[in-house]
Structure 1
């Protein structure tokens, strides 16, 4: 008869007041120098010492909250006894900004070189809408193209995507909300993963297609066409016109061929969703290693989800390439504090119930793990939602924490590949940008095998972060070269275009 193995725990920093229960803990056993006083679920926290009421609780060597009451060593630490409290940060600028050495070997992938010099990892024809009123027509066009079988004659085209949204009218004709939608739509239309785009409007909406064309100096041609339902003569004729436009664009898109391109042409979106207590130990830091490897190749990595770096922003300002960049990040944080207060919200409404079930207690704790996706490279720039990302290296984009909205901003900014870490099991995919799903635990990877591309749970079994980061980087190159992700195989991506809606709906 074999004895039960000793459950695993890990202290992430010598100064931590808690240890992470890698395995579930039962009362009475001794771990990490303390006796477990009550059942602690896997992925949750155990008090490593006695804590007085109001005392700061540290994990990752950083404050994640305060004790709401006295906590004895060996107790389960979670939302019943740990809260936000005061969390003033010591903001410093640039003291940890150390450039990574260039890679010794230049890596390449097989990409689509566009006429403007940018490089795509996919080759889609998109059907964009100016307003929700034209959403059905856009879907009808895509459905008819697929039903007709015409795509069979164009094997180099990855598909036709209807990218629809819920706004475009009942809004102010100027201001942040209007500008955000404008950037999002043109960002998708000009993303290098798009070979060609048809934009469909109703005709009388606030967000006029002519305005978009004027704003960006867009000329219609073989890769960009527009139409409205009203000018076309109604729904059926608009669908016919849309299908005809796609039919004419497909031979143009088909001419694209993959060729060897340097990894510096990759712009990687960093996302996390459905995080758990393991995310900051496995998938997120491993993705950070991969992001650093890409930056060393001259590429770009975009960290986003501003409410989910709240409490960790002081670590990013220390990596700012200049004080100006650091101050831009703090300006974004202050805007979110004011925005949440104005709307009667609280930035600590995140973690979600699923995050909490997975072991995350406060937004401070979640943010410290989420920020690890950004690796260790200097923070080179901070940009607004859906703004073009033109700076190489590690960049932060201001977005909400809601994954589809955040990723939409990154893709509009130019991301041509995306990595998405998850601990609870997010169901997500993205078009036109392929999304690589990284599971934080082996249990999740096996349970949702059809959705997960890589398992980061083996880090708990001894695989190093360096090894896993290299594996993720190799997967990024392979997917950028055409390997289909799990979410692509499942058909995700048609419903995940969700521009951030700012301002009043009228």
Structure 2
């Protein structure tokens, strides 16, 4: 298995990540003619910060190597000291040939965290939540309006509105400072042990394939049975593909004992809308009283299930934030907890490394089969994993999907892969699990939580304003400039690693402590304080 070795001190102005690499990364803007210390390479053109340049001349068809793996192929001759760009390099990998065998992993030293606990919500099924919500979900998009009516009613009576300040600002802009004030937040919450009510809406449930309906019910069941959820109110129209019985069957697979209170309301049976809203509101308020009976209590860190995700990645994401999150993932696994790595299109090119880490041949075969099926499904709609990098990724130095993948996979650390799951399947084992999802930020985060992640670590280099309705999402910036520019959405600065101010190990210890504080409710994630509650199911075969 290839291991990343940093051969330069991070305070230098260029970085060669692995001894086998034939490119280097510019840590700041470099002028034409700049001479690189190693090998005496002289830049033949300016190289922008975060971008790569060739260390040796590359002929047409020659492999571009970064992180010790193939991340592209030269489409024309590239001179030593020339920038790696979309006009001279295309996506290429060496394929997935490898054998499983992950028995030699040496976990990090976690002695300082042994015996440490977080204050979580203990559920009847034995799992522990990092938050405590009542959720309201529709089985079909036809109920979205009723969900919105319920959302506004509950926010009004509980005075639970994350956009209160914006509404006050809008009133003052339109009517002046003498405008009637927006009510302030209550000083004493009615349900102190509850983090709130979350209202999920979506565009599925009918009009698609039966596979879409089954996947939606599996996802909703994952949210209803999630350790961060005390119970749910479910709205159904009645005639849609995603039937109540289909959802109940999916819930029974995840919670056989039916330990959570769930109430169903079918509009076509009830009749008039007023009665539906009245009954649903009564269900929500009764559910809040039920949820309020549960208080936080100490739980071992082995009850953490960390979902890892990256969005708005830049040329530093694979050097700072992603390896940092990987180091935290390894620590959680070493403490007996779980980590979930997803985004299958962003594992393209590093399959052989992950297969080599699989705990058994069966796990490796499942991973290979799901990757192949996803690629084939994408091909049917004229797509390919090579299309994954966004214009923003490319502008910031992530030229090919393989280059992006090599850095994105670092979020999974180095621990053995104990299981591989298809979309909506729940986490079944402690350790590192791979989950088949698209790379789309919101769809992936939605899926990670649906499979059981009770905390999400989300890395970003460009800034991504999104979160999740029921699980805290901590944003980790790959560079310190992003923190200065968009600090209101960032929880942790990994740019200190690039700047040479801190190493990955000490920074990982600090980030793990922030995870503990967040899981205990003592740190409010920025995504939560900003009301970022993104819930977007994956319609398979469409997203990369």
Question: How does the TM-score come out when normalised to structure 1?
Answer: 0.94
Q: Which residue of 2 aligns with 1:343?
A: 381
Secondary structure at the aligned position of 1:497 is classed as coil
Q: Which residue of 2 aligns with 1:3?
A: none
Q: How far 1:29 sits from its partner (Å)?
A: 1.6
Q: How far 1:418 sits from its partner (Å)?
A: 0.5
Q: Say if 2:222 and 2:450, in contact at 8 Å, map to a contact too.
A: yes
Asked whether 1:468 is paired with 2:507, we answer yes
Q: Say if 2:328 and 2:508, in contact at 8 Å, map to a contact too.
A: yes
Q: Which residue of 1 aligns with 2:179?
A: none
Q: Which residue of 2 aligns with 1:312?
A: 350
- Which residue, 195, 200, 206 being the options, matches 1:169? 206
- Which residue, 278, 299, 316 being the options, matches 2:316? 278
Q: Which residue of 1 aligns with 2:190?
A: 153
Q: Say if 1:286 and 1:469, in contact at 8 Å, map to a contact too.
A: yes
1:217-366 alignment runs, 5 A limit: 217=252, 223-366=261-404
Q: CA RMSD in A?
A: 1.9
- Which residue, 369, 373, 398 being the options, matches 2:411? 373
- Which residue, 127, 130, 151 being the options, matches 2:139? 130
Q: Deviations over 1:85-124 (max 9, x none)?
A: 4633432221575253784323210000012211110111
Q: Which residue of 2 aligns with 1:405?
A: 443
2: CA distance between counterparts of 1:95 and 1:266? 23
Secondary structure at the aligned position of 2:488 is classed as coil
Distance change >3 Å, CA 18–CA 275, structure 1 → 2: same
Q: Deviations over 1:369-414 (max 9, x none)?
A: 0000000100000011111101000000111111111111111111
1: CA distance between counterparts of 2:43 and 2:250? 63
Q: Say if 1:271 and 1:419, in contact at 8 Å, map to a contact too.
A: yes
Q: Which residue of 1 aligns with 2:183?
A: none
Q: Which residue of 1 aligns with 2:81?
A: 74
1: CA distance between counterparts of 2:257 and 2:339? 31
2: CA distance between counterparts of 1:101 and 1:85? 33
Distance change >3 Å, CA 16–CA 121, structure 1 → 2: same
Asked whether 1:59 is paired with 2:59, we answer no
1: CA distance between counterparts of 2:506 and 2:438? 31
- Which residue, 85, 100, 119 being the options, matches 1:110? 119
- Which residue, 197, 211, 220 being the options, matches 2:232? 197
Secondary structure at the aligned position of 2:397 is classed as coil
Q: Which residue of 1 aligns with 2:248?
A: 213
Q: Which residue of 2 aligns with 1:487?
A: 527
Q: How far 1:132 sits from its partner (Å)?
A: 0.3
Distance change >3 Å, CA 99–CA 11, structure 1 → 2: closer
2: CA distance between counterparts of 1:427 and 1:51? 39
Q: Deviations over 1:394-451 (max 9, x none)?
A: 0001111111111111111111110000011111111200000000000011111000
Q: Which has the higher mean CA deviation after the structures are superposed, 432-441 or 176-185?
A: 176-185
1: CA distance between counterparts of 2:116 and 2:93? 46
Q: How far 1:214 sits from its partner (Å)?
A: 4.4
Asked whether 1:16 is paired with 2:26, we answer no
1: CA distance between counterparts of 2:399 and 2:488? 29
Secondary structure at the aligned position of 2:483 is classed as helix
Structure 1 unaligned segments of length 5 or more: list them. 1-5
- Which residue, 460, 463, 472 being the options, matches 1:425? 463
2: CA distance between counterparts of 1:95 and 1:29? 43
Q: Deviations over 1:224-269 (max 9, x none)?
A: 1110222232333222211111111111111110100001111110
- Which residue, 33, 41, 49 being the options, matches 1:28? 33
Secondary structure at the aligned position of 2:284 is classed as helix
Question: How does the TM-score come out when normalised to structure 2?
Answer: 0.88
Q: How far 1:313 sits from its partner (Å)?
A: 1.2
2: CA distance between counterparts of 1:203 and 1:149? 30
Asked whether 1:50 is paired with 2:57, we answer yes
Q: How far 1:73 sits from its partner (Å)?
A: 0.8
